[in-house]
Amino acid sequence: MTAVTPGVDAPLASGRSTRRGDAAFRGLTLAAGVLVFVLLAAIAVFLVVKALPALQQDKANFFTTRTFTNPDTTKVFGVAALVFGTVLTSLLALVMTVPVALGVAVYITDYAPRRIATLLGYLTDMLAAVPSVVYGLWGLYFLLPHLIGLQVFLHDYLGWIPLFAGSSGEIAAYSKSVFAAAVILSIMILPIVAAITREVLRQVDPSQKEAALALGATRWEMIRMAVLPPSRPGIVSAVMLGLGRALGETIAVALVIGNTFTISPKVLVPGGNTIAAHIATSFGEVGTLGRSALIATGLVLFGITLAVNLTARYVIYRAGADERSATA
């Protein structure tokens, strides 16, 4: 019988148990990572297989044709107008969201008293959990009537900008527009971007803030020089996450945007559509070929989202590399 020496064999056994636990955890994380890639590849294969019949029977150029009416009978359809509407509404939403979200995050982390900061943090997280259909119904029945005055104001005073050009009669009589959809999207993605940006700013080393203030910097100078630069990769990630949700939003946009297939920079007049909203409103009304065509548009949206995420990862990598080289 082997004797066990107290204080010697126990740490060895504990070390072996820890190594086994580390190996098991490493295996689980590897399996989770591989599963993500498998699911991504499976989605891509499914979309390609289901979209091929429509792409083979399309009598027009799928990527440059604007119309998408009755694909089962005409066999002439394209995604150009839908891509334009998707990108335009998402970019407008980002333009309205990013400054507000960054301001909210900075105020919560560096200006607000602790109680107010905690309350605002709860509110932003709660708004992020609201279902999109609630935003859509709220926008349809409450926000749209109140947007008419704002749209007329933008047209009257900024009509020389192509975005706000159009007919005064159309703008005053009908509020469904790309601008309305962008406002809804900005409200939807604001809590997500603000919450993630707030968490990123909270991770900044407090000693950097204290050093900047000790050197005589004002609070804004401290934020500009000691808080925002190291937080840039995280802020970019938050913005890209918000953009991803804006690109794929369906019900809320479908309720407040038009249903035409036009490519125009005018955002105040009726018209416009997005890929996700068009799929949501048309999927149950088309036949086999039309359903395949809609899946083809979904494949395009999948590619756009993937490209956006890859671009974001590259920007974050470059920002991290520049920061590491600056500190080296």
Name 144's Cβ contacts closer than 8 Å, sequence gap at least 6.
175, 176, 180, 256
- Whether residues 174 and 38 share a domain: the answer is no
Query: Both tokens of residue 22?
Result: 């580390």
Tell me, what's the pLDDT at 161? Answer: 84
The low-confidence residues of the chain, meaning pLDDT below 50, are: 1
- Whether residues 3 and 137 share a domain: the answer is no
Q: Are 55 and 230 in contact (CB under 8 A)?
A: no
Tell me, what's the pLDDT at 7? Answer: 53
Query: Both tokens of residue 260?
Result: 């035409």
Q: What is the CATH number of the domain that holds 76?
A: 1.10.3720.10
For residues 100 and 181, give the distance between their C-alpha atoms in angstroms, rounded to a whole number.
18
Calculate the dihedral angle through the C-alpha atoms of 116, 118, 124, 128, rounding to the nearest 10 degrees. -160
Entry field: residues in the chain: 328
- Whether residues 33 and 114 share a domain: the answer is no
What single DSSP character describes residue 311?
H
Task: Name the H helices within the chain.
Answer: 9-57, 71-74, 80-110, 114-128, 132-138, 144-158, 168-173, 178-202, 206-214, 219-222, 228-248, 251-256, 275-282, 288-327
Which residue type sits at 301? L
Provide the domain limits for residue 46: 1-57
Task: Return the residue matching tokens 């509404």.
Answer: 89
Please count the structural domains in the chain. 2
If phi > 0 it is left, if psi is from -120 to 50 it is alpha, else beta; for residue 216 that is left
- Whether residues 12 and 71 share a domain: the answer is no
Would you tell me the crossing angle of helices 288-327 and 80-110 to the nearest 10 degrees? 40
Each residue of 269-313: pLDDT tens digit?
A: 777 788 888 888 888 788 888 899 999 999 999 999 888 888 888
Q: Comparing C-alpha atoms, which of 129, 171, 165 is closest to residue 150? A: 171
- Whether residues 115 and 195 share a domain: the answer is yes
- Whether residues 161 and 70 share a domain: the answer is yes
Tell me, what's the pLDDT at 278? Answer: 87
Distances (CA, A) of 31 to 20, 38, 44: 16, 10, 20
Each residue of 255-277: pLDDT tens digit?
A: 788 777 888 888 887 777 888 88
Tell me, what's the pLDDT at 95? Answer: 92
- Whether residues 75 and 49 share a domain: the answer is no
For residues 152 and 268, give the distance between their C-alpha atoms in angstroms, rounded to a whole number.
9
- Whether residues 315 and 222 share a domain: the answer is yes
- Whether residues 37 and 174 share a domain: the answer is no
- Whether residues 239 and 149 share a domain: the answer is yes
What single DSSP character describes residue 257?
S
Each residue of 310-328: b (16+ CB within 10 Å) or e?
eebeebbeebeeeeeeeee
- Whether residues 50 and 132 share a domain: the answer is no
Tell me, what's the pLDDT at 320? Answer: 66
- Whether residues 23 and 99 share a domain: the answer is no
